[in-house]
Amino acid sequence: MPERTQMPVKLLHELSGAHSEGTLIVDRFAAGERRKRAVLALLGAWTLGALTIAIPIVHFVAPFVLFAAGIWLAVRFWKEHARMRELAGTCPKCGNNFTKEMEGAPDLPVWSECPHCGASLAVHARDET
Ligand SMILES: [Zn+2]
């Protein structure tokens, strides 16, 4: 299981310069977890590829694509140290509290938008700027 951490962030509405505080929930993967996810992705894709060998016509393409996809997924999972899960905070433009699902690596600053007013928000680490 990944370690779930909370990162204090600053939400900045760049058009008005207003800002507020929020929290970014991030899953962090230890080396053992990353290795396990990489091996499972590789074995899963290669097993599926091996099974498609028995399917006429599909066996011309699918085993090769799934072989390559297994390697690609394994490398991707091995390199993924952390992933954003959720952003919670107060919108600096409209003042409503919100919680929003997030994807990707927590390489701040990242962009998000308020689900209430649609304002484009820059998410910075709280100690920055
Ligand atoms: Zn808003």
Q: What is the pLDDT of residues 28-77, one digit of tens each?
A: 999 999 999 999 999 999 999 999 999 999 999 999 999 999 999 999 99
- Residue 65: the pLDDT is 97
pLDDT at residue 129 greater than cutoff 70: no
Strand 18-28 versus strand 110-113 pairing type:
unpaired
The Å distance, Cα 97 to ligand 1 centre, comes to 8
One domain for residues 118 and 98: yes
The pLDDT tens digits for 110-119 are 999 999 999 9
Q: How many domains does the chain have?
A: 2
- For residue 98, how far is its CA from the centre of ligand 1 (angstroms)? 8
Task: Kindly state whether residues 86 and 102 are assigned to the same domain.
Answer: yes
Residues in the 5 Å CB sphere of ion ligand 1: 91, 93-94, 114, 116-117, 119
Are residues 89 and 58 part of one domain? no
Q: Are residues 70 and 85 in the same domain?
A: no
Are residues 75 and 85 both part of a single domain? no
Q: State the Cα–Cα distance between residues 115 and 101, nearest whole angstrom.
A: 11
* Residue 94 CA, ligand 1 centroid: distance in Å: 4
Report the percentage of the chain scoring pLDDT > 70.
Answer: 98
In this structure, the answer to whether residues 24 and 85 fall within a common structural domain is yes
- Shortest CA distance to 123 belongs to which of 23, 12, 31? 12
Instruction: Please give the structure tokens belonging to residue 77.
Output: 């999972």
Dihedral of the CA atoms 103, 106, 107, 112 (nearest 10)? 50
Question: Does residue 19 surpass a pLDDT of 70?
Answer: yes
What is the distance between the alpha carbons of residues 46 and 63, in angstroms, rounded to a whole number? Answer: 8
Give the Å distance between the CA of 21 and the centre of ligand 1: 13
Claim to verify: residue 72 and residue 36 sit in the same structural domain: yes
117 and 87, same structural domain? yes
CA 70 to centroid of ligand 1, rounded, Å? 41
The range of the structural domain enclosing residue 13 comes to: 3-28+81-125
